[in-house]
Amino acid sequence: MATTYPRRIYTSFITNIVDIPSRLVALLCFLLLLLFPVTRPGTLLLYVLTYTNIIAIFAASWDLLVGRVGQISLGHALFFGIGAYTTALLYKFYALPLWATIPLAILSGASVAVLVGFPSLRVKGPYLALVSMAFPLILTGLIFYFREWTGGENGIWGLPRFFPIGFFTQMGFPYSEALYLQKIAEYYLTLLLLLASGILLYKIANSKIGITFISILDDEQASKSCGINTTKYKLMAFAITACFASLAGAVYAHIITSIGPASTLSVTLSFLPVIMTMFGGIGTIYGPIAATFIIQTLDLYILRKVVDVPLEWHPLIFIIIVVIIIIKWPRGIAKFVTDKFEDLQEARELEERGKHIWKREKKKSSISKG
């Protein structure tokens, strides 16, 4: 058996990844990102990509909640902010090390998500979207009110880094080189976290739980009558996505080393995963990740460094592109690309079913409103 084991891994690798074109593309993209620091990019580009990795985790987690369970949330920054603030406050008051605060941040994100998920059990459709938008704003108000502890609008400064600079200088690198290596190490850390979260989210979305999620998106009443405890599964969806979103927030806090309500709880941050997911393809998990890489590098690097555009024009350009894409291809660019690659009948059928579900959802909501 021992001799066949590597062979089995090899065949499963071939059949599960290389034979499916879109997964091969994903693998190649990942390898490209993995080998990217070999070209010794500038610190700005490295920073942009590190930030992009974090936002990609955040966007993918939103996609699981909305694309697979149908709970439209416009306040996803709440979980990001909870993650960031938990780790920062634990460091500030108890001086706990990184490896202890980040799991605690994830835990608190998940428990807040269960609390926040309760309104979603009663509120539906556009009501839920607008209600969820309120939560980060409420938290912002509380942060401003308890400014002795949270620092108000100035936030919390001087958080520890993942790889302290001394770690590299002890290894014999000069200081400037050590600074650069620190950035590269952070880049790899976030990239691996992105890979792990992406695979985990994709696995969850396609597991038995994920199928139950889709049944809730499809028809909640029907899945209830099939004996599915939809309350439990909806709260579970909130908790799972909040885990990943607060992980992103906690990692962000330790990469940037300073957090504030403007950077972790803003409305813009809540809208970011929405834009990414609609651009990349809703319900796909890999779509928002791809979209984040396209949009973030376009916005933060290409428009700033490669093409010299005045600063006020940046949001304008990339939002116009996103709006046009949403109107042109409502199913997102990732769907468009995979359809081009894999001319599979099954995928077509699934997509048709997906469209059907969305239409039916729309019709149902308009009937119940009238």
Partner 1 sequence: MILLALISIWLISLNPIDREYALAKINSVIVNGAVSGPLYALLALGFTLIYGVTGVVNMTHGTLYMLGAYMFFAFGPLGFFQLEILPAIVLAAIFVGIVGSIIYALTIHPIIEDELAVLVVTVGVALILQQLIIIGFDIAFKATYLAIPTITLAGLPLNVTFMGVKLASSSLLVCGVSVVLFTVVMIFISKAKIGRAMRAVAQDREAAMLMGINTTRLYMLTMAISASLAATAGIFIATSTTGTAEPSMWLRPLVISFAIVILGGLGSLKGTIVGAFIVGYAENAVIILTPAGSTLAGAVALAIMVLVLLIRPRGIFGKRIEME
Query: Would you tell me which residues interact with partner 1 (CB under 8 A)?
Result: 66, 72, 74, 118-119, 122-127, 129-131, 133-135, 137-142, 144-145, 147, 267, 271, 274-275, 278, 282, 312-313, 315-316, 319-320, 322-323, 326-327, 330, 358-359, 362, 365-366, 369-370
Planar angle of CA 138, 140, 143, nearest 5 degrees = 115
Contacts for 295 with CB less than 8 Å, ≥ 6 apart: 275, 276, 279, 318, 322
Nearer to partner 1, 187 or 279 (CB): 279
Q: Residues 204, 210: contact at Cβ < 8 Å?
A: yes
Least CB distance from residue 110 to partner 1, whole Å? 20
Least CB distance from residue 6 to partner 1, whole Å? 46
Tokens representing 109?
């994100």
Whole-number Cα distances in Å, 352 to 69, 278, 347, 358: 18, 18, 9, 10
Rounded to whole angstroms, how far apart are CA atoms 152 and 138? 14
Nearer to partner 1, 11 or 268 (CB): 268
Report the chain's C-alpha Rg in angstroms.
21
Nearer to partner 1, 200 or 333 (CB): 333
Nearer to partner 1, 29 or 267 (CB): 267
Contacts for 200 with CB less than 8 Å, ≥ 6 apart: 244
Least CB distance from residue 102 to partner 1, whole Å? 27
Least CB distance from residue 215 to partner 1, whole Å? 19
Least CB distance from residue 72 to partner 1, whole Å? 6
Nearer to partner 1, 31 or 320 (CB): 320
Least CB distance from residue 111 to partner 1, whole Å? 18
Whole-number Cα distances in Å, 200 to 82, 203, 244, 251, 259: 21, 5, 10, 17, 27
Nearer to partner 1, 109 or 332 (CB): 332
